[in-house]
Amino acid sequence: GKQQSGPSQGDPASSDGQQPARAQQPSQPEQSSVGRGQPGQQYHSGSVGRGQPGQQYHSGSVGRGQPGQQYHSSSVGRGQPGQQYHSGSVGRGQPGQQYHSGSVGRGQHDGQQSSHGRGQPPQSGPYQGQPPQSGPYQGQPPQGVQFSSQQQQKGPQQGQQQQKGLQQGQQQQKGLQQGQQQQKGPHQGQQQQKGPQQGQPPQGVPFPSQQQQKGPQQGQQQQIGLQQGQPLLAQQPQPSGEDKSQKPSSHSGDSQGKKDKPTAKPQKDKENQPPKKIDSGPLPMSKKSPSHQPLFPIPHRKGVGTLGRRTQVEVNQLPLNLSKLCPEIYHYDVAIDPDKPKRFLRPIVAEFIKRHCNGFNPAFDGKKNLYAARQLPFGTSKSDQITMINEERVSNNELEFQITVKLAQKINTNTITAFLNSRTTGQRLDVPQTAIQAIDVALRAAPLVSGPVPVGRSYFIPPDGRERIIELGGGLELWYGFYQSAILNWKPFLNVDVAHKGFPIPTNLVDIFCQVCRLNNPRDNFRPDDVLKFRGFVTTLKCDYEIPNTPNSRRTYRINNVGKSPANLRFRPDNGPEISVVDYFKRVKNYQIKHPDLPTVQVDPPAKNIFLPIELCYLKPGQALNRKLDEEQTAAMVKAAAKPPEDRKRRILNAIRTAQYNRSPVVKEFGIEVNENLDKVDARILDPPGVQYKNQSNPRPQPGQWRAGEFMLSYELSKWFIMCLDFRTRREKLNDFARMLASQGRNLGMTIQNVTEIKEMDTRSRQIKADVTNVLHKWKAQGAELVVVVIPGHGDFYSMVKRCAELEVGVLTQCIKANTMFKMNPATCGNILLKVNSKTNGKNHQLGERYKPGVLNRPVMLIGIDVTHPSPDQTSIPSVAAVAASHDATAFQYNMIWRLQNPREEIVVDLKNIIIEQLKFFFIKTRHKPEKIIVYRDGVSEGQFQQVLAAELNAIRQACTTLEKDYKPGITFLVVQKRHHVRFFPMKSQDEDGKNRNVPPGTIVDTTITHPRELDFYLVSHSSLQGTSRPTKYHRLWDDNNISEDELEVLTYYLCYLFSRCTRSVSYPAPTYYAHLAAFRARTYLENNPAPLNNLEGFASKNKIEPVFMKNTPMFFV
């Protein structure tokens, strides 16, 4: 994001950039413990006996032969040693490998362990929080490894070389080598083959539906991921965007592998086919949306969370008493011809009810739906013709409308009771959407009586002078209002919250022109672009037109375009001689135009070509604009709307009193009663994690914020440059900044050498983009690791710099706004370094070892997905889908991939190919495939849950099996929802956080106001600096991994402490935050660079991130 001055508050202090790592850290083999004999494998729980080795995939034991393979947590017996990957201890033989906790006995120690007994001390591996000693966690590609479930050779007998990659010209035995069959207990001269039987699941985490494998029988061959005849990959798979010339080479034993038939029969012909090779080439962009996918049933919750200190909070939801609700609601379809202007729809229906439904109080939604508690007294259908008066016309102002009201359906309200009871009955019932929608419309009838302006689900009240009118800039002023929505949770509620919206200021159009164009005076010079901005603002708005001192001249018009100035616009009145608008008003209307050089507005009807001087036009009040606010307006809106909890609560209670729900004849007729007091719900406050920095062994937990220490990992910045694009920033200020950056870097454990070069650019140049690109190319050739770019606070310099640096040159940049540079201080400088270190492959901090969620002890990929859409008025701009995925054991480092898709398309169309790229990148960085994939999906509404789950869960599964046929990691899929109106208010002083007295970080609610049957929860994970904290809602849609409620809630909370750009916990998990930043970066590439909707694929291919740059600095976008 762009640079903001001051200390970071969840969004840090600067823009972005990144650089390749300069140091490599040696990796460390996986840790393990051993038994007495030859090594085998062990993965999770179970024990191996004394006989021949076998395979085990979940929990169970193998017989007394030689040791074999085991996949879940346990100990190895007295036979030959094996491998252990999670928790357990091993007997007395030679050591193998171990990943988490266990002890090693008294044998020889040529392996490694994490929690050791009497043998050699352990060396920390990648999943124990320490950097590995050679390899995957510092970007080092693995040697001789492929994307399949092969295991390395552990503890070979005498005379054999341990296979740990391709050693001394030998190829690692990963599949069945030419003419060799795997033996069941490794003997001298033979290497143990690791992998499942033919047609069996791979070694890794089995899919939940797979049956436990008890071990192969003698004479069977064990397959290792890639089947017989499948070539090994000599080079590592590369993420999309790398050099296309680097393709995986095939193994020379391909043809011979086909001759060597397996002795064991495959279970399925389909499963016996070799999986596809990994293709590291560029991935195509899908042109079409995914086809219809089968729906996946969302799993039921097993319980509620228990961790944390218990308390209670108030919530802005009003309980609804539906005990007297009418047993049936009659739903009518309303057809009005013509159906425009929309402002006449409610008055037409009101007139129809007055004529034909005397004594009834139905509820109309303002569009096409009418709901009644009783059947209306005209049978199933009724039509009528209604005349309305159009105040915008002086003559011919009567408009005729034909209305037909027809019974569509009868809604059984018992479906609501059945749904609420499903929490105890366990029935899988859909939300009774039609019934709750009818109740919602009925409740909306109450606030309409007081005359607010309805916009969507909100109601806005014009400023009445009691409160100061807040102007947002650009011709808008702030209106306060309230939002309401009926919802079903454990019981029915009415959610009521404050609302804010910008409305056009009801003033003269000359004032609007000056505000929109940022002019101090209407006589100031303006540019053609200013006229375009003005046209975009006023088009479709209504205005009153009146000539001073001219009776009966007042008219109301709708603006549909902007025209030439009155001085330049000429026409022929009454087919007479041509005349300018200025002369016409002077001669005919006896009015001297004061601003002849300002534009005119064209008004309805367009065919009549009516153009009016803007000085005679006044915008009408109460016109809602469904358009995106600019930066200045957004900042003003946020500042005005940021009210502390007590103030927000007061406004909500005022709105409830204004609505007077229980006095509404419509609400009464439906049998609805509203409890007008905020509900009190049970909550818990989770303990915060300890955030660890370098040389800290036992970090102290601090809720919501902490002081930065020395970075866990950083690289020397020896060649870095400063480019200044702001003419006001002086050279001495840039030198001061360079010295301050180096000084602050030392405090954070980061070595920063003197700046290599400072260059001030002339932004008045017509070829500034080419100039910037040329300088960046020059500095890249000199080995630039970072370019700090000072940009003005206005204009498109940020997007221009990012396009040049990342799409064309491939050099890391960090943008800083000039205003921030003027106010630079050590704290702001430190915040900038948080980003710089992350971008240069460093690691700022991590969770302390004792606070690390258990799921992170094994290879797991955390994925954030976000799809950002253009505002409703931007119909020619595509949507951007972005996926950020972790690739290290501490869940700190992420890689991003983005795609363009059609506007408003919510499903990620190309998700399968994106996940394939992310899995390859994870494997290159870690030497492991993720055993679990946990997805945090942002931006999905409840009505889209099933559609998004079906399409995207299938896409992730297909990505896994495309890379390897039997690779099926467990997938957990959660939706992250920020756009809701639920707020918490503390009830106890001990629960108040900070000067705003919000609920503290870690406040969680997973009962009462949540789904009666499915797992969802609200979590406040951040400490709010202003306004009322907004909890984030999480809804679990799928879970192969069987993660408990407590573990999922704690994992989600702790991930909010792993965002690199600040020393505060953020309001939603780091994967989702990074996906949002990735989508923002892609949106930056589109600024002043429009993408044609009919050729998004071609546009994307021309605007690809420079591949080597993206590979070397994957976190360039933070």
Over residues 1048-1105, the pLDDT tens digits come to: 999 999 999 999 999 999 999 999 999 999 999 999 999 888 899 999 998 988 899 9
**Matching residue, tokens 């293709």:** 279
pLDDT at 201: 35
Cα dihedral sign, 718-719-725-728: positive
Confidence at residue 69, expressed as pLDDT on a 0 to 100 scale: 37
Is the predicted pLDDT of residue 526 greater than 70, yes or no?
Answer: yes
Q: For residue 595, give Cα distances in angstroms to 581, 599, 976, 1102.
A: 12, 9, 52, 47
Mean pLDDT of 723-732: 95
Is residue 151 scored above 50 in pLDDT?
A: no
* Candidate from 49-63, 355-369, 578-592, 734-748 with smallest mean pLDDT: 49-63
Predicted pLDDT of residue 394: 63
Question: Considering just the CA atoms, what is the radius of gyration of the chain in Å?
Answer: 34
Identify the three-state secondary structure at position 1044: coil
pLDDT score recorded for residue 257: 37
What pLDDT band is residue 604 in, cutting at 50, 70 and 90? Answer: confident
Please spell the DSSP secondary structure of 9-52, one letter per residue.
SSS-SS-----------B--PPP----SSS--EE-SEEEEEEES
Residue 271 reports pLDDT greater than 60: no
Where in the chain are the domains?
A: 1-23+715-830, 30-123+149-155+183-218, 509-619, 849-980+1037-1112
The CATH number, out of the four listed (3.30.420.10, 1.10.540.10, 3.40.50.300, 3.30.70.20), of the domain defined by the range 849-980+1037-1112: 3.30.420.10
Residue 36 above 50 pLDDT?
Answer: no
Total-model pTM:
0.75
Most confident of 3-17, 305-319, 1078-1092, 1098-1112: 305-319
User: Which pLDDT belongs to residue 74?
Assistant: 33
pLDDT tier, 450 (very low <50, low <70, confident <90, very high otherwise) = confident
1-23+715-830 folds as: Rossmann fold (3.40.50)
Task: Report the range of poorest mean pLDDT among 121-130, 380-389, 897-906, 991-1000.
Answer: 121-130
Task: Say whether pLDDT at 458 is over 90.
Answer: yes
For residue 1088, the model assigns a pLDDT of 86
pLDDT tens digits for range 490-500: 999 999 999 99
Local structure of residue 544 (DSSP, 8 states)? E
d(CA 584, CA 237): 75
pLDDT at 776 exceeding the cut of 90 = yes
- Residue 962: the pLDDT is 97
871 pLDDT band, cuts 50/70/90, is confident
Average pLDDT of the residues in 648-673: 96
Mean pLDDT on 1001-1010: 98
Does residue 663 have a pLDDT over 90?
A: yes
* Predicted local distance difference test score (pLDDT) of residue 258: 38
Q: Does residue 424 have a pLDDT over 90? A: no
Residue with more model confidence, 18 or 1114: 1114
Tell me how far apart the 2 most distant CA atoms of the chain are, in Å: 113
**Which residue from 124, 146, 30 is spatially nearest to 82, judged by alpha carbons?**
30
pLDDT of residue 605: 80
Euclidean distance between CA atoms 764 and 774, whole angstroms: 16
Confidence of residue 384 (pLDDT cuts 50, 70, 90): very high
Tell me which DSSP letter residue 298 carries: P
With a cut of 90, say whether residue 862 has pLDDT above it.
yes
Q: What is the DSSP letter of 942?
A: G
Residue 926 DSSP SS3:
helix
Kindly provide the residue ranges of all beta strands, DSSP E only, lying in 516-629, ordered along the sequence. 542-545, 555-563, 570-571, 579-580, 600-603, 610-613, 617-619
CB 723, CB 731: distance < 8 Å = no
| pLDDT tens per residue across span 799-826 | 999 999 999 999 999 999 999 999 999 9
Percent of the chain surpassing pLDDT 90: 63
Instruction: Quote the pLDDT of residue 469.
Output: 86
Q: What percent of the chain has pLDDT over 70?
A: 73
- Prior bond of 299 cis (ω within 30°): no
pLDDT at res. 71? 35
**Mean residue pLDDT across the chain:** 79
pLDDT of residue 697: 84
Task: Measure CA of the first residue to CA of the last residue in the chain; give whole Å.
Answer: 7
Contact 828, 814 (CB under 8 A): no
Note whether 1-23+715-830 and 849-980+1037-1112 share their fold: no
Give yes or no for residue 629 having a pLDDT over 50. Answer: yes
Q: Are strands 369-372 and 328-337 parallel, antiparallel or unpaired?
A: antiparallel
Ranking 87-96, 713-722, 812-821 by mean pLDDT, the lowest is 87-96
- pLDDT of res. 395: 65
Q: What average pLDDT score do residues 347-354 get? A: 96
The per-residue pLDDT for 938 is: 96
Q: What is the per-residue pLDDT for 147?
A: 53
- Quote the pLDDT of residue 426: 77
CATH top-level class of 509-619:
mainly beta
Count of C-beta atoms within a 10 Å radius of residue 759: 16
Minimum mean pLDDT range among 204-218, 698-712, 844-858, 964-978: 204-218
pLDDT band at 295 (very low <50, low <70, confident <90, very high): confident
Has residue 158 got a pLDDT over 90?
Answer: no
Residue 719 pLDDT class (50, 70, 90 cuts): very high
- Which of 245-259, 566-580, 726-740, 950-964 is predicted least confidently? 245-259
